[in-house]
């Protein structure tokens, strides 16, 4: 049952489906840049950093940029519409890739980190694709709309790593070609948003706040639990994925093998999206979220029991599936727990908290991987062991929500 009871106009489902199709294409094409950057940024950082413990700092800067941009972007979309917010994101993605390319040519680590910060603004805007898919949809279509948009990541999972293979060593400066390709992706992909048709939501006046305040929203059980599960699912996915290329190469495999592992992981993130929405409709959002957390735990166990290539592939595939169930489930729960007038407030707050957790996980990832024990195997074990307290938090939150629902009858 939803926590809101506000009567809404009947949605135009033809418009909803058209918007979803555009967002699927954006997720597929523009989203490719994130798998490209997450595949090579740690390796590039490792080649530029004086201290290997800082190797994944460029990725952490990307996640930090995403966290810092969440609230301003959400506010801009609330006031000016989704299209403007998405153009801000692609513009920042272009700038970030340009700075990254220049930093590689200059062999400047801290400039490379700055480029990652701008890339994070694009990542934040991409995170709103899933919410935009629900803006013109009815309640029955919302979980499916979220799933379809995230399913667009299936194409990005194929496009991104393959472009890395083609571009990473295409120029004298390693990885420069990849960042130039990201610039082109942003410039071309931004044209897709010309075709979006999403009306601007009601806005608050200076002397009247429409809907609940942020604190009131956080005190709403379904809002709070949705944010916690989304944060844990995304943070653990980022924690492990950030270290994966370093672990694979550190355990004696080739860079292209690391790209293949990341590609398998991203495929596993998005292939389930074709049916996650249907599973939510059939079994309930809470069960799907709980299943996602169990699968994430299995990913951590698989990672800890060995460093054979099969272990890396199975662990990262499970990591992707667990993220999909946990994150889509949490997004579906959140989308049914607020009114249109609260949209900018709750979605910005959600992504601020989610990417705050992801930033902490990303910062911890490089230190755990490179500075825990004396080998890549020790670092990889430490990364996977760090999943335990986060999974305990999210599992406890779901149990608490179930108990609250049971008490209310």
Q: What is the CATH number of the domain that holds 329?
A: 1.20.1250.20
205 in any annotated domain: no
What average pLDDT does this structure show over 81-103? 96
Using 50, 70 and 90 to split pLDDT, how confident is the model at 202?
low
What average pLDDT does this structure show over 269-280? 87
Q: Considering Cα of 88, then 270, then 44, then 50, what sign does the dihedral take?
A: positive
What average pLDDT does this structure show over 77-84? 91
Contact call for residues 122 and 186 (beta carbons, < 8 A):
yes
pLDDT value of residue 209: 56
The two tokens of residue 207 are 């002397």
218 in any annotated domain: yes
> In whole angstroms, how far apart are CA 285 and each of 127, 158, 390?
20, 29, 20
Q: Pick from 256, 236, 248: which is nearest to 301 by CA?
A: 236
User: How many angstroms separate the CA atoms of 121 and 93, rounded?
Assistant: 7
1 in any annotated domain: no
Q: Is the pLDDT of residue 19 over 80?
A: yes
Lowest mean pLDDT among 118-122, 251-255, 339-343: 339-343
Q: Based on the structure, what is the number of domains in the chain? A: 1
What average pLDDT does this structure show over 376-386? 92
What average pLDDT does this structure show over 145-167? 86
pLDDT over 90 percentage in the chain: 50
Q: Bigger pLDDT: 203 or 107?
A: 107
149 in any annotated domain: yes
What average pLDDT does this structure show over 271-284? 88
Specify the residue for token string 């013109």. 136
The 3-state DSSP class for residue 55 equals coil
**pLDDT, tens only, 205-216:** 544 456 788 788
pLDDT value of residue 91: 97
Lowest mean pLDDT among 115-119, 173-177, 196-200: 196-200
294 in any annotated domain: yes
Mean pLDDT, the chain, rounded, equals: 88
Q: Pick from 190, 38, 131: which is nearest to 351 by CA?
A: 131
pLDDT value of residue 409: 58
- CB neighbour class for 78 (10 Å; exposed up to 12, middle 13-18, buried from 19): buried
160 in any annotated domain: yes
271 in any annotated domain: yes
Q: Spell out a b/e string for 106-131, using b for 16 or more CB atoms within 10 Å of the CB, else e.
A: eeebebbbbbbbbbbbbbbbbbbbbb
Using 50, 70 and 90 to split pLDDT, how confident is the model at 9?
low
What average pLDDT does this structure show over 184-189? 97
> What distance lies between CA 52 and its chain's CA centroid?
25
6 in any annotated domain: no
Task: Supply the range of the domain harboring residue 218.
Answer: 13-198+211-408
φ, ψ for residue 208, nearest 5 deg: -150, 120
Q: Bigger pLDDT: 213 or 284?
A: 284
What average pLDDT does this structure show over 237-251? 89
Contact call for residues 126 and 34 (beta carbons, < 8 A):
yes
Q: Spell out a b/e string for 210-220, using b for 16 or more CB atoms within 10 Å of the CB, else e.
A: ebbeeeebeeb
Using 50, 70 and 90 to split pLDDT, how confident is the model at 1?
very low
> What distance lies between CA 181 and its chain's CA centroid?
21
Lowest mean pLDDT among 65-79, 220-234, 279-293: 65-79
Q: Is the pLDDT of residue 2 over 60?
A: no
Q: Is the pLDDT of residue 302 over 90?
A: yes
pLDDT value of residue 207: 44
Q: Is the pLDDT of residue 157 over 70?
A: yes
Q: Is the pLDDT of residue 85 over 70?
A: yes
Contact call for residues 223 and 3 (beta carbons, < 8 A):
yes
What average pLDDT does this structure show over 280-307? 95
DSSP string, 176-206: HHHHHHHHHHHHHHGGGGGG---PPPP--BT
User: How many angstroms separate the CA atoms of 229 and 225, rounded?
Assistant: 6
Q: Pick from 291, 292, 350, 289: which is nearest to 127 by CA?
A: 350
């Amino acid at each position: 049952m939803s926590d809101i009871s506000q009567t809404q106009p009947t949605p135009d489902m033809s418009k909803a489906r058209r918007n979803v199709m555009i967002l699927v294409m954006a997720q597929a094409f523009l989203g490719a840049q994130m798998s490209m950057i997450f595949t090579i940024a740690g390796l590039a950082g490792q080649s530029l950093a004086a201290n290997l413990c800082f190797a994944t700092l460029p990725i952490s800067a990307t996640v930090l940029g995403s966290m810092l941009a969440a609230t301003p972007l959400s506010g801009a979309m609330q006031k000016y519409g989704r299209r403007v917010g998405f153009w801000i994101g692609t513009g920042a993605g272009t700038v970030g890739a340009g700075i990254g390319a220049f930093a590689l040519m200059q062999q400047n680590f801290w400039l490379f980190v700055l480029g990652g910060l701008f890339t994070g603004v694009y990542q934040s805007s991409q995170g709103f694709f899933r919410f935009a898919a629900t803006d013109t949809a009815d309640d029955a279509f919302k979980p499916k709309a979220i799933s379809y948009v995230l399913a667009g990541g299936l194409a990005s999972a194929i496009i991104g790593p393959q472009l890395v293979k083609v571009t990473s060593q295409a120029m004298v400066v390693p990885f420069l070609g990849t960042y130039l390709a990201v610039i082109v992706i942003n410039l071309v992909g931004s044209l897709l948003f010309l075709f979006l048709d999403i009306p601007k939501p009601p806005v608050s006046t200076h002397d009247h706040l429409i809907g609940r305040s942020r604190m009131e929203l956080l005190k709403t059980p379904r809002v709070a639990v949705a944010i916690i599960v989304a944060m844990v699912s995304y943070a653990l996915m980022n924690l492990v994925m950030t270290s994966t290329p370093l672990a694979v190469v550190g355990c004696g495999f080739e860079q292209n093998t690391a790209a293949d592992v990341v590609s398998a992981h991203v495929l596993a993130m998005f292939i389930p999206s074709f049916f996650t929405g249907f599973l939510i409709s059939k079994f309930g959002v809470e069960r799907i979220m709980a299943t996602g957390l169990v699968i994430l735990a299995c990913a951590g166990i698989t990672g800890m029991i060995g460093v054979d290539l099969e272990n890396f592939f199975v662990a990262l595939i499970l990591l992707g599936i667990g993220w999909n169930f946990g994150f889509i489930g949490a997004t579906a729960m959140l989308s049914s727990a607020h009114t249109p007038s609260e949209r900018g407030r709750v979605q910005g707050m959600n992504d601020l908290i989610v990417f705050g957790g992801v930033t902490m996980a990303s910062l911890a990832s490089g230190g755990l991987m490179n500075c825990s024990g004396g080998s890549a195997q020790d670092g990889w074990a430490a990364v996977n062991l760090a999943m335990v307290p986060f999974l305990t938090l999210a599992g406890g939150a779901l149990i608490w929500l179930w108990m609250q629902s049971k008490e209310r009858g």
